[in-house]
Amino acid sequence: MKGLRGLWLVILVNTAGAVIPTVSLQLFTPGATSHDLWVHFRFSLVYSYCIGSLAFYVMERVAVRLHCRSRAFSVAALLITLVAVAVIGSLAANLFFLAAGWSTKSEFAPEFFGGGRIAIFLTLLIGAAVTIFETLSHRLKAVTQELQTRQLAEERARQLATEARLSSLESRIHPHFLFNTLNSITALIREDPRAAERTVERLASLLRYSLDTNTRGLVPLRQETHIVQDYLEIEKTRFGDRLRYTVETPDALADFDVPPLSVQTLVENSIKHGIAVRRQGGEVRFAARLDDGHLVLEVSDDGPGFDAAPLRRGHGLENLQERLTALFDGDGRLQIARRDGRTVASVILPARKLVI
């Protein structure tokens, strides 16, 4: 407890500690006069502030030291501390009474032992109530902070997903990509009308998928695989035999959830850095597998590779890494490595199936 809230709580509890015995005297002693009540309240107020102020000072520090202890040990230690505080506070209060002339030396011992027993009882009662209140207040604050953190993470994930969709849509309608795709379609209309029609359908599917929203920010792997194959087929009409690709996604993994456009982003990056820059083209492989409770989505190419560190702000892979962090609370990540002459980009995330 710190600041103004702590000060008000000390005043409230200490004053209540003086009011409770005074009200009890009035209820259980019908003949008590207003003077008796005032004297009783005055003594109780000193008791309460001597014991209560000491308790607030000591208990907060004791609670910090007991944070990592067992519950039984902590409860026992708190009870012993409260009893000790009650005894020391009672002694301080009676010394004050003696110094103020409210009691005599002959009354000191009876007052100390008689009032001490009541002080111990009230200290344990009020101490338990304050401890429970503070514990519940702390838990409520912790839960509230956790909910706020989750809400911020979810909002960040939605924002990143929107950025990814806009980025994907932008790349689809980029003049260079669109011109090449339309040019390929034009060439196919005369040579292979059916292939031209399929390419138009794939382009429409890509645009629709880029615009599509998903409240959970996740899609089944089969849906992502389908869009990746559409994208690869469109690019194949552009590169022809220069582009070779394989897709290996076991049927058992089809229902596992993945961020939309995650694999597609990796494939697009491979074509840009591994295929388009080489006269002879190259091969792109996409494979999915389970590894130690995680789903691994791996895209590799046999191109020259690229410098992945650091990724510039707004880069598709940088956006993907932020999305994985936000969606999976740090348990999702992007890895890029050079292995066996190939550039391997992997999305690693918790293996779980989409619940509709």
The domain in which residue 225 lies consists of 176-350
Cβ pair 225, 247 in contact under 8 A: yes
Select from 133, 149, 165 the last residue of a domain. 149
Report the alpha-carbon distance of residue 227 to residue 173 in Å, rounded. Answer: 16
Low-confidence ranges of the chain (pLDDT < 70): 1-6, 9, 17, 25-28, 67, 156-179, 212-216, 307-315, 354-356
| Entry pTM | 0.53
**Which CATH number is 284's domain given?**
3.30.565.10
Regarding whether 183 and 114 lie in a shared domain, the answer is: no
**278 in a domain, yes or no?**
yes
Q: What is the pLDDT of residue 169?
A: 45
Does residue 254 form part of some domain?
A: yes
Indicate whether 283 belongs to any domain.
yes
d(CA 271, CA 329): 30
Q: What is the pLDDT of residues 220-262, one digit of tens each?
A: 999 999 989 999 999 998 888 999 999 999 999 999 999 888 8
88 in a structural domain: yes
Q: 136 and 182, same structural domain?
A: no
pLDDT recorded at residue 163: 60
Q: Do residues 116 and 218 both lie within one domain? A: no
Residues 214 and 249 in one domain: yes
Name the residue with tokens 């005894």.
Answer: 87
Q: What pLDDT does 14 receive?
A: 73
The last residue of one of the domains, among 105, 134, 149, is 149
Residue 296 lies in a domain: yes
Do 144 and 184 belong together in one domain? no
Per-residue pLDDT, 6? 66
Domain annotation covers residue 157:
no
Tell whether 198 and 140 lie within a shared domain.
no
Mark whether 103 and 233 lie in a shared domain: no
Cis peptide before 250 (omega within 30 of 0): no
Q: Is residue 169 part of a domain?
A: no
pLDDT attached to residue 167:
55
The CB density around residue 222, as the number of other CB atoms within 10 Å, is 14
For residue 155, tell me if it sits in a domain.
Answer: no
| Same domain for 343 and 260 | yes
pLDDT in tens, 304-335: 877 655 555 545 788 788 778 877 877 889 99
- Co-location of 96 and 193 in the same domain: no
Q: What is the pLDDT of residue 250?
A: 94
Are residues 18 and 132 located together in one domain of the fold?
yes
Same domain, 114 and 197: no
Same domain, yes or no, for 242 and 94? Answer: no
In the chain, how many domains are there?
2
Asked if 195 contacts 202 with a C-beta cutoff of 8 angstroms, the reply is no
